[in-house]
Amino acid sequence: MRRATERVGDERVAERDAPAAAFEALPIPERRTVPTDQPTPVVACVQMDGGRLQFFDRAEPQRNEDDTFRREMKVSCLWSMTSTVSTEDPCPQLPKSFVDPERMRKMVREIKGFSGPDSLAEDQTEDSTEEPRIDDRPGRPKPLARSVVASRRTVEAFGPLLASEAHQRRFAAAERQAFVADGSDTNWGVWRKHFFDYAPILDFIHALTHVDAAGMAGRRLKEGWGACRA
Protein backbone atom coordinates (compact mmCIF):
# COMPACT_ATOMS: atom_id res chain seq x y z
CA MET A 1 0.00 0.00 0.00
CA ARG A 2 2.82 2.40 0.85
CA ARG A 3 4.60 1.75 -2.45
CA ALA A 4 1.39 2.20 -4.43
CA THR A 5 0.62 5.44 -2.58
CA GLU A 6 4.10 6.81 -3.23
CA ARG A 7 3.91 5.86 -6.92
CA VAL A 8 0.55 7.60 -7.39
CA GLY A 9 1.80 10.57 -5.38
CA ASP A 10 4.90 10.92 -7.58
CA GLU A 11 2.68 10.81 -10.67
CA ARG A 12 0.44 13.55 -9.30
CA VAL A 13 3.43 15.75 -8.38
CA ALA A 14 4.85 15.34 -11.89
CA GLU A 15 1.45 16.18 -13.37
CA ARG A 16 1.30 19.32 -11.22
CA ASP A 17 4.88 20.42 -11.91
CA ALA A 18 4.77 20.09 -15.71
CA PRO A 19 2.47 23.12 -16.34
CA ALA A 20 4.46 25.19 -13.84
CA ALA A 21 7.72 24.40 -15.63
CA ALA A 22 6.15 25.27 -18.98
CA PHE A 23 4.86 28.55 -17.56
CA GLU A 24 8.27 29.45 -16.12
CA ALA A 25 9.84 28.80 -19.54
CA LEU A 26 7.62 31.38 -21.24
CA PRO A 27 9.00 34.87 -21.97
CA ILE A 28 7.64 37.38 -19.48
CA PRO A 29 5.26 39.11 -21.98
CA GLU A 30 3.71 35.75 -22.89
CA ARG A 31 2.98 35.01 -19.24
CA ARG A 32 0.40 37.81 -19.42
CA THR A 33 -1.50 36.06 -22.20
CA VAL A 34 -4.32 33.68 -21.28
CA PRO A 35 -5.28 30.19 -22.48
CA THR A 36 -8.34 29.94 -24.70
CA ASP A 37 -9.79 26.71 -23.30
CA GLN A 38 -10.95 28.16 -19.95
CA PRO A 39 -13.75 30.61 -19.07
CA THR A 40 -12.65 34.07 -17.97
CA PRO A 41 -13.71 34.92 -14.41
CA VAL A 42 -15.26 38.28 -13.57
CA VAL A 43 -13.48 38.29 -10.22
CA ALA A 44 -10.24 36.35 -9.65
CA CYS A 45 -9.21 35.82 -6.03
CA VAL A 46 -6.02 34.17 -4.79
CA GLN A 47 -5.87 33.27 -1.09
CA MET A 48 -2.60 32.07 0.43
CA ASP A 49 -1.54 30.89 3.87
CA GLY A 50 0.81 28.52 5.63
CA GLY A 51 -0.03 25.64 7.94
CA ARG A 52 1.40 22.66 9.75
CA LEU A 53 1.05 18.92 9.20
CA GLN A 54 2.41 15.78 10.79
CA PHE A 55 5.18 14.28 8.65
CA PHE A 56 7.26 11.25 9.60
CA ASP A 57 10.09 10.21 7.31
CA ARG A 58 10.90 6.57 8.05
CA ALA A 59 14.27 6.82 6.32
CA GLU A 60 15.34 9.90 8.28
CA PRO A 61 12.99 10.68 11.18
CA GLN A 62 13.78 14.15 12.48
CA ARG A 63 11.92 16.19 15.05
CA ASN A 64 11.59 19.95 14.69
CA GLU A 65 12.44 22.66 17.22
CA ASP A 66 9.20 21.87 19.10
CA ASP A 67 10.23 18.21 19.44
CA THR A 68 7.36 17.10 17.17
CA PHE A 69 7.12 15.84 13.61
CA ARG A 70 5.08 18.80 12.41
CA ARG A 71 6.26 20.44 9.22
CA GLU A 72 5.22 23.59 7.41
CA MET A 73 3.04 23.48 4.33
CA LYS A 74 1.79 26.21 2.02
CA VAL A 75 -1.75 26.24 0.69
CA SER A 76 -3.59 28.50 -1.72
CA CYS A 77 -7.19 28.64 -2.93
CA LEU A 78 -7.91 30.22 -6.30
CA TRP A 79 -11.51 31.39 -6.68
CA SER A 80 -13.52 32.44 -9.70
CA MET A 81 -16.31 34.71 -8.47
CA THR A 82 -18.99 37.16 -9.45
CA SER A 83 -19.92 40.27 -7.51
CA THR A 84 -21.68 43.58 -7.93
CA VAL A 85 -19.49 46.66 -8.23
CA SER A 86 -20.42 49.27 -5.62
CA THR A 87 -19.20 52.82 -5.07
CA GLU A 88 -19.82 52.39 -1.33
CA ASP A 89 -19.08 49.65 1.17
CA PRO A 90 -21.99 47.19 0.76
CA CYS A 91 -21.45 45.95 4.32
CA PRO A 92 -20.32 48.93 6.46
CA GLN A 93 -21.21 47.22 9.75
CA LEU A 94 -19.44 44.18 11.16
CA PRO A 95 -21.50 41.07 10.25
CA LYS A 96 -23.32 39.45 13.16
CA SER A 97 -21.33 36.25 12.74
CA PHE A 98 -18.28 38.16 14.04
CA VAL A 99 -19.93 39.65 17.11
CA ASP A 100 -21.07 36.29 18.44
CA PRO A 101 -18.85 35.66 21.51
CA GLU A 102 -19.18 31.86 21.49
CA ARG A 103 -18.23 31.59 17.84
CA MET A 104 -15.37 34.06 18.22
CA ARG A 105 -13.87 32.15 21.15
CA LYS A 106 -13.94 28.92 19.14
CA MET A 107 -12.50 30.55 16.02
CA VAL A 108 -9.64 32.25 17.89
CA ARG A 109 -8.65 29.00 19.60
CA GLU A 110 -8.70 27.08 16.32
CA ILE A 111 -6.67 29.64 14.34
CA LYS A 112 -4.22 31.02 16.87
CA GLY A 113 -4.43 28.62 19.78
CA PHE A 114 -5.15 31.41 22.26
CA SER A 115 -6.50 30.11 25.53
CA GLY A 116 -10.03 30.78 26.64
CA PRO A 117 -13.09 29.15 28.17
CA ASP A 118 -14.89 26.39 26.30
CA SER A 119 -18.21 28.16 26.67
CA LEU A 120 -19.48 31.68 27.17
CA ALA A 121 -22.99 30.61 28.00
CA GLU A 122 -23.04 32.72 31.13
CA ASP A 123 -21.99 35.81 29.16
CA GLN A 124 -24.15 35.48 26.04
CA THR A 125 -25.27 38.78 24.56
CA GLU A 126 -28.34 39.71 22.60
CA ASP A 127 -26.37 39.16 19.36
CA SER A 128 -25.88 35.44 19.99
CA THR A 129 -29.40 34.17 20.67
CA GLU A 130 -29.09 32.01 17.56
CA GLU A 131 -26.21 30.80 15.42
CA PRO A 132 -25.51 33.45 12.73
CA ARG A 133 -24.75 32.42 9.18
CA ILE A 134 -21.32 33.42 7.93
CA ASP A 135 -22.61 34.27 4.48
CA ASP A 136 -25.47 36.51 5.66
CA ARG A 137 -24.07 39.87 4.65
CA PRO A 138 -24.76 42.32 1.82
CA GLY A 139 -22.48 42.39 -1.19
CA ARG A 140 -20.87 39.01 -0.55
CA PRO A 141 -19.17 37.74 -3.75
CA LYS A 142 -20.64 34.57 -5.20
CA PRO A 143 -18.04 31.79 -5.64
CA LEU A 144 -18.28 29.87 -8.92
CA ALA A 145 -15.20 27.63 -9.01
CA ARG A 146 -12.22 26.84 -6.78
CA SER A 147 -8.92 25.06 -7.22
CA VAL A 148 -6.31 24.36 -4.56
CA VAL A 149 -2.52 24.38 -4.73
CA ALA A 150 -0.55 22.94 -1.80
CA SER A 151 3.06 21.96 -1.24
CA ARG A 152 5.72 21.39 1.41
CA ARG A 153 8.31 23.03 -0.83
CA THR A 154 9.95 26.36 -0.15
CA VAL A 155 8.05 29.54 -0.89
CA GLU A 156 10.42 30.17 -3.83
CA ALA A 157 9.17 26.93 -5.41
CA PHE A 158 5.56 27.44 -4.34
CA GLY A 159 5.19 30.85 -6.00
CA PRO A 160 5.62 29.54 -9.57
CA LEU A 161 3.15 26.71 -8.89
CA LEU A 162 0.61 29.29 -7.79
CA ALA A 163 1.31 31.64 -10.70
CA SER A 164 0.99 28.76 -13.16
CA GLU A 165 -2.40 27.74 -11.78
CA ALA A 166 -3.64 31.33 -11.98
CA HIS A 167 -2.44 31.44 -15.59
CA GLN A 168 -4.31 28.25 -16.48
CA ARG A 169 -7.45 29.67 -14.84
CA ARG A 170 -7.25 32.84 -17.03
CA PHE A 171 -6.96 35.08 -13.96
CA ALA A 172 -4.90 37.63 -15.92
CA ALA A 173 -7.99 38.43 -18.02
CA ALA A 174 -10.36 38.91 -15.08
CA GLU A 175 -12.05 42.29 -14.68
CA ARG A 176 -11.04 42.43 -11.01
CA GLN A 177 -8.28 40.60 -9.16
CA ALA A 178 -7.51 40.23 -5.46
CA PHE A 179 -4.76 38.61 -3.40
CA VAL A 180 -5.77 37.77 0.18
CA ALA A 181 -3.31 36.79 2.92
CA ASP A 182 -2.46 37.39 6.55
CA GLY A 183 0.39 39.65 7.66
CA SER A 184 3.21 37.20 6.93
CA ASP A 185 5.89 38.70 4.72
CA THR A 186 6.31 35.26 3.15
CA ASN A 187 2.83 35.52 1.64
CA TRP A 188 3.33 39.10 0.51
CA GLY A 189 6.65 38.18 -1.07
CA VAL A 190 4.68 35.88 -3.40
CA TRP A 191 2.28 38.76 -4.10
CA ARG A 192 5.12 41.17 -4.92
CA LYS A 193 6.82 38.72 -7.28
CA HIS A 194 3.87 37.05 -9.01
CA PHE A 195 0.65 39.00 -8.30
CA PHE A 196 1.77 42.61 -7.84
CA ASP A 197 -1.09 43.95 -9.98
CA TYR A 198 -3.74 42.23 -7.84
CA ALA A 199 -5.48 44.29 -5.16
CA PRO A 200 -3.78 43.33 -1.85
CA ILE A 201 -6.30 42.49 0.90
CA LEU A 202 -5.44 41.63 4.50
CA ASP A 203 -7.13 38.45 5.70
CA PHE A 204 -9.88 39.85 7.91
CA ILE A 205 -10.20 36.70 10.02
CA HIS A 206 -6.54 36.69 11.08
CA ALA A 207 -6.68 40.39 11.90
CA LEU A 208 -9.79 39.80 13.98
CA THR A 209 -8.10 37.10 16.05
CA HIS A 210 -5.37 39.57 17.03
CA VAL A 211 -8.01 42.16 17.97
CA ASP A 212 -9.64 39.52 20.16
CA ALA A 213 -6.34 38.61 21.83
CA ALA A 214 -5.56 42.27 22.54
CA GLY A 215 -9.03 42.92 23.93
CA MET A 216 -8.91 39.91 26.24
CA ALA A 217 -5.37 40.58 27.53
CA GLY A 218 -5.46 41.33 31.27
CA ARG A 219 -9.26 41.59 31.37
CA ARG A 220 -12.08 39.49 32.69
CA LEU A 221 -14.12 37.72 30.06
CA LYS A 222 -17.09 40.07 29.86
CA GLU A 223 -14.93 43.21 30.06
CA GLY A 224 -12.55 41.87 27.39
CA TRP A 225 -15.40 41.04 25.03
CA GLY A 226 -16.71 44.57 25.39
CA ALA A 227 -13.27 45.93 24.48
CA CYS A 228 -13.16 43.67 21.40
CA ARG A 229 -16.52 44.92 20.18
CA ALA A 230 -15.53 48.53 20.71
Flag whether pLDDT at 61 surpasses 80: no
Number of domains forming the structure of the chain: 2
> Distance between CA atoms of 184 and 207, rounded to whole angstroms?
12
For residue 215, what are the contacts with CB-CB under 8 A and spacing of at least 6?
224, 225, 227, 228
- In a 3-state reduction of DSSP, which class is residue 74? strand
User: Are 124 and 90 in the same domain?
Assistant: yes
Q: With a threshold of 0.85, does the pTM exceed it?
A: no
Alpha helices in 113-203 (DSSP H): 155-168, 185-194
What domain range includes position 111? 86-140+203-230
User: Are 127 and 21 in the same domain?
Assistant: no
Least confident range of 129-133, 142-146, 214-218:
129-133
User: Are 2 and 67 in the same domain?
Assistant: yes
A 10 A CB-CB count for 81 gives: 19
Across 24-35, average pLDDT: 83
User: Are 100 and 123 in the same domain?
Assistant: yes
Sheet with strand 142-151: strands edge to edge: 142-151, 70-82, 43-54, 176-181, 199-202
User: Are 211 and 145 in the same domain?
Assistant: no
* Amino acid letter for position 45: C
Q: What is the CA radius of gyration of the chain?
A: 21
**What is the C-alpha end-to-end distance of the chain, expressed in Å?**
55
User: Are 97 and 111 in the same domain?
Assistant: yes
User: Are 135 and 151 in the same domain?
Assistant: no
User: Are 145 and 161 in the same domain?
Assistant: yes
pLDDT digits (tens, 9 = 90+) for 209-218: 888 878 878 8
What is the pLDDT, as a whole number, of residue 67?
A: 64
Task: Return the higher-pLDDT residue of 67 and 127.
Answer: 67
For residue 200, what are the contacts with CB-CB under 8 A and spacing of at least 6?
178, 179, 188, 191
